[in-house]
């Protein structure tokens, strides 16, 4: 598989390999962000993380965030799951290259035909025109953030 050109300080591509093994983790129900419910103290199901995040391996990319233009939504080191088979919608985060540039992560403003960073220190907005060559690698569908390693 030929990997797209990613800018060194924005996104780092990670390959996906499949060896036939599927791993499952225990799903203990949904977690309320308020007060706990004693009725939810039982195991409901098992979830396959690869089936959840990599359901369409042929159209899925994983990248590691290396820049801060999309902070605070994305932090350096976060993993993003990107699907190339999805059509971008208004306010989706997309991996995109404009006019032959390296791929980068930006918020897509469909209504105004713009790409923008989320980080307020990056004031630039990319106004897209009919003359631009825009290559969208895919839409970010999931974010994986390590809260604690080890």
Cis peptide before 72 (omega within 30 of 0): yes
Residues 6+ apart with CB under 8 A from 145: 75, 77, 78, 79
Q: Which one of 106, 129, 142, 149 is the catalytic residue?
A: 106
* Alpha helices in the chain, H assignment, sequence order: 49-53
Known active-site residue 129: no
Grouping H, G, I as helix, E, B as strand and the rest as coil, residue 51 is: helix
Q: Which one of 56, 69, 84, 149 is the catalytic residue?
A: 69
Quote the tokens at residue 100: 């032959």
Which residue is listed with tokens 């199901």? 45
| Structure-derived torsion over alpha carbons of residues 74, 79, 85, 87, reported in degrees to the nearest 10 | 0
| Structure-derived torsion over alpha carbons of residues 78, 83, 86, 87, reported in degrees to the nearest 10 | 50
Quote the tokens at residue 105: 């992560």
Known active-site residue 123: no
Which residues carry out catalysis?
Answer: 69, 106
């Amino acid at each position: 598989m030929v990997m797209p050109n990613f800018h060194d300080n924005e996104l780092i591509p990670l390959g996906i390999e499949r060896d036939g093994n599927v791993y499952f983790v225990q799903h203990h129900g949904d977690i309320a962000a308020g007060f706990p419910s004693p009725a939810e103290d039982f195991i409901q199901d098992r979830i396959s993380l690869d089936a959840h995040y990599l359901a369409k391996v042929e159209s899925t990319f994983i990248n590691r965030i290396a820049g801060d233009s999309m902070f605070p939504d994305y932090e350096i080191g976060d993993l993003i799951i990107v699907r190339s088979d999805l059509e971008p919608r208004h306010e989706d985060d997309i991996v995109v290259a404009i006019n032959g540039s390296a791929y980068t992560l930006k918020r897509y403003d469909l209504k105004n035909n713009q790409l923008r960073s989320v980080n307020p220190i990056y004031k630039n907005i990319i106004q897209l025109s009919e003359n631009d060559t825009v290559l969208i690698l895919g839409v970010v569908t999931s974010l994986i953030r390590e809260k604690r390693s080890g």
